[in-house]
Structure 1
Amino acid sequence: MTLALLDWAPNPFSRNTFHPGHLTCTGVVLSPARDAVLLVHHRRLRRWLLPGGHVELDDNTPDETARREVLEETGAELSGAPPLLVGCDVHPIPARGREPLHLHHDLIFAFESRSLRSGCSPESRAVLWRPVSQTGDLPGSISRSVGRALHRQGATTAARS
């Protein structure tokens, strides 16, 4: 489905492309010990989510979008390690105002954090480091993304050794 978006949508990165949707980018930020993941409590949606959002004109690449969103929403101190693409989650977004029901094709990137420092943006009610062992009750797309990030980060670390 996401490949069809890339093939057929006139501008798949534009938040104004509603059919078949548009790309968004999300970051799975793992703690330095890889035992916690950074979550934001979204003000409008009133639930815990991974930080992420829409592509902006100044963003050069999808991973740059994810990094910008993580920094804006959490203030996390990310390591210099390159982010890893760990998946794509396609989910419906309800109609709101002038925007019809549409799909977000969410590219998910794993990031390493340098510390447990974080902050909160106006978009969020709170920011929280949640133990990885306690992510099972989160929506399936979030727990799957955390699992993929842990798997990919572990594989990358093993390859560097």
Structure 2
Amino acid sequence: MYDFGEVLYQLPRDAAELARVEALIATHGKAAFSRDPFIGGHITGSAFVLSPDRRAVLMTHHAKLDRWLQLGGHCDGICDPRFVALKEAYEESGLSRIDLILQDILDIDIHAIPARKAEPEHLHYDLRYLMQASDFDVKISHESKELQWVSLNELERLTSSQSVLRMRDKVLRFIG
């Protein structure tokens, strides 16, 4: 019913994560793509955006979460996380051209979002896609404290997140 693509360079954990995404959709249908935290979680779409030379990735210092992450966001009822990842990449980066490198999923990460205001703790079922910018010209949106192109080989200077580093490792396998 939903075409997210296959998972690139599947790790043993990827099949289990994909099964959890499919179970969420089987249980909640289109509501799995909403922002409703009361069903336990929802699907989000993220973009791992490479520089034109494929040597760096664009990272955002997320304003609300106060940490360095890839670009991305909520589906808000759109049942196409690949499209959402691309849309969010444009909105959060100000880039004028971003190309999807693969139709397939680069990575899946299911992680807890802490309770906030009236929302309970819930899960983000994040489907992540590999993209490439046509230039380096970025413009910070209200969702970011900062944007930075970071060499793939130096990503650890901004983040120790295994989730982000796992995507980098998959990309390095892909681009050689």
- TM-score, normalised to structure 1, is 0.86
| Per-residue deviation, 1:30 | 0.6
SS in 2 for 1:12: helix
CA contact (8 A) 2:37 2:119 kept: no
Match of 2:83 among 58, 64, 67: 64
Describe the shift of the 1:130–1:107 C-alpha distance in structure 2 as closer, same or farther (beyond 3 A): same
Q: Out of 102-111 and 80-89, give the one that drifted further.
A: 80-89
Are residues 1:12 and 2:36 paired? no
**RMSD over aligned Cα, in angstroms?**
1.9
Structure 1 unmatched ranges of 5 or more? 156-161
Aligned length: 153
| Per-residue deviation, 1:35 | 0.8
What's the counterpart of residue 141 of structure 1? 163
- Which amino acid is the alignment partner of residue 5 of structure 1? L
Identity of aligned residues (%): 34
- TM-score, normalised to structure 2, is 0.79
What's the counterpart of residue 73 of structure 1? 92
What's the counterpart of residue 59 of structure 2? 39
Structure 2 unmatched ranges of 5 or more? 1-19
- Cα distance between partner residues in 2 of 1:151 and 1:118: 26
Are residues 1:151 and 2:173 paired? yes
CA contact (8 A) 2:100 2:131 kept: no
Describe the shift of the 1:81–1:143 C-alpha distance in structure 2 as closer, same or farther (beyond 3 A): closer
The structure carrying a bigger helix percent of its residues is: 2
What's the counterpart of residue 130 of structure 1? 150
Displaced runs of 4 or more, over 6 A = none
- Cα distance between partner residues in 2 of 1:55 and 1:3: 16
Are residues 1:105 and 2:117 paired? no
- Which amino acid is the alignment partner of residue 163 of structure 2? S
SS in 2 for 1:3: helix
